[in-house]
Chain A
Amino acid sequence: MERLFNEFEKLTRIASPSGHERALLEYIKKECEPYCDSVYFDKRGNLVCRKKNEGAKKLLLAAHADELGILAMYAEEEGNYRFSVFGGVNFPSLLYRRVNFTNGVVGVIVPDDGTSLSDLKLANLSVDIGAKSKKQAEKLLAPLTVGVSDSPAVKLGSRFVSRAIDDKVGCLILLELIRSVKSSKFDLYFCFTVEEELGLRGAKTVGFEIEPDIAIAIDVSSATDMIPIKRNGITLGSGAAIKVLDVGTVCDKELNAELISVAKKAKRRYQLDVADRGCTDAAALQFVKGGVKATVVSVATRYIHTPNEQADLNDVSDVIAVIKGYIEG
């Protein structure tokens, strides 16, 4: 558990808002290279790591490298920056959030004076970077610089809180698999995709050249065990969340049945996940050419798309074990 967390924490040190994933992907690339037959960036900047097994069925595993973030757009006369966001955030969760820009500048997201909580929108939010004027602001921070929440990973027993568990935990799982899978019944393609939070944009093209037979997206899924507890959903610590369907994908039943039987055999916990909001890279991957059998395995996560998401390391380890078992056969 300690090691898993430490590996995760390393991934959170690198900011990777949508469209700006390269630094994180370069780190992952270096980590993967010793274990893979080929590691390359495709035309769109998705990182593809292949463990070759020529002739075997092609299995594509996808986790997205991008996280939520903000983009400084223009400075107001008063020195505050207007900004845009990457991905779906609810505006109250932005309030008074501390932001680290990639050039080292720190800012705080604030509402315009007199804005009511119910009327929050980009037009009345700004980042205060401590500048006195537009001129000074632009000197400190060039327009179009990206930033992410200042909320580093913290371990709380078997659980952990951090920004961007969505989907750095997926990247972690893929990395762990790359490091640990010894034999495989598949020709394996581990894909770290870009711009998922903007509408699965990276995943739309990543499968086109690979032409996978099977695709599995590894992502987070919204837990429903916050207070007051709603019982109809997945919960932290209950194991790998195997998706039945979400807004983008009706997951392949046969594939799910195989995953479930692997989980049972390995005595790993799993839970079925029906999500009536959101979707994952699987929603794009299922449409490659003549179609691809696809499913999603997730880590149940609380407070998704806020600065402090929360998940359980036991679930992470369950997901790794289930996928590993499936790969090794």
Chain B
Amino acid sequence: MKLLKRLCTANGISGREENIKSIIKKEISGLCDISEDRFGNLIATVHGKKRDKRVCYFAHTDEVGFIISDYDEQGFARFVNVGGIDAAVLPGKVLCSGRRKGVIGVCPVHLLSASDKETVLKSEDLFIDFGFEDKKQAEKRLPVGSAVYFEPTFYQAGNEIFAKALDDRIGVRIMIDMIKSKPLYDTTFVFTCCEETGTQGAETAAYGLNTDIGVILECTTSAQTPDENGGKAVTLLGGGAVISYRDNGTMYDTELFALATFVAEKNGIKWQTKTLVAGGNDASAVQKTAYGASVAAFSVAARNLHSAISVANKNDYFSVLKLAKAFNDVIGL
């Protein structure tokens, strides 16, 4: 959990993932061959027994966030979103860039008409207030092009983890654990960049790897609420490892899906599958690049994905970890 905390509280929007990668490198150095491709994906290869097929695991290092695009004369920052962020989660949120903090400003509620109160502004109409006195000062202290993040948060309560960027540091954490526990067979672990901008990292990595099987470790969406514990929730916190059959980006390999559920049942690992077709991940790129590959995805369910604080269940995390390890011992043979 300590390592997960370090990963979640480190900052890395798409394309600016050095902080995350350096934590990973430190953790796994000496345990595997490490290389970095020119798009910025970190590739770790663990040598074990040979197997017939090449097997790669994927988790992405980037998180959603912002880049400053412009300042007005008073020093208010305009910004662009990196990754899919619902503007509804933004007003009043404290953001940070390096040590500097700022807030997404809101018009006082007193001044709004009834209809304005119900309207969510678009990101492009919002601004970040870093407290700069004017444009000149702003440009000097935090130049246009600087990355901005949700404020780092991480704490646990009961079985639940509350943190920024669980998507997908949780997958990164699981891969690090897998590397440390020495897989039985040759396995490649790819820490991909730029998933949130459209899986470009996985696309470039998969091109060179020519893998036969790709397993994506993710943090996926849950719409579970006090009133919705059924199908509309998509996945449930505490419902176990999410084994994907289908999402918006991918129809998963039906044989791998069947095998994964079998492995879960056999090892007494709690599992669930998405009840609606929702979300997408690196699988779509891995499956369709170059010669293509068979893909599977195991995810930890989380609420409030792509916001300042997402919420996941510790037991689900352990379920995915256990499943990923057990699965790796039986595939590609």
Q: Which residues on A are within 8 Å of B, measured CB to CB?
A: 18-20, 42-44, 71, 73-74, 76, 82, 84, 86, 123, 143-144, 195, 198, 201, 204-205, 208-209
Contact = CB atoms under 8 A, between A and B. Distances in A.
Given A19-B251, A82-B231, A74 B291 contact: no
A209 B290 CA distance: 8
11 contacts: A43-B293, A44-B287, A71-B277, A74-B231, A76-B231, A82-B276, A84-B276, A84-B277, A201-B287, A204-B288, A208-B290
A73 B276 contact: yes
Interface residues of B, number: 21
A43 B245 CA distance: 18
A19 to B, nearest CB: 3
A205 B275 contact: no
A205 B288 contact: yes
Contacts of A209: 291
A195 B294 CA distance: 13
A134 B293 CA distance: 36
A205 B291 contact: yes
A43 B291 contact: yes
A18 B251 contact: yes
Contacts, number: 58
B178 to A, nearest CB: 24
B292 A198 contact: no
A299 B262 CA distance: 43
A34 B245 CA distance: 35
A204 B251 contact: no
Given A43-B292, A73-B275, 9 more contacts: A43-B212, A44-B287, A44-B292, A44-B293, A71-B277, A73-B276, A84-B246, A123-B232, A204-B288
Contacts of A198: 251
B230 interface: yes
Contacts of B277: 71, 73, 84
B292 A208 contact: yes
Contacts of B97: none
A82 B288 CA distance: 29
A44 B229 CA distance: 35
A44 B290 CA distance: 11
Nearest to A81: B231
B254 interface: yes
Interface string B289-300: 111111000000
Contacts of A86: 251
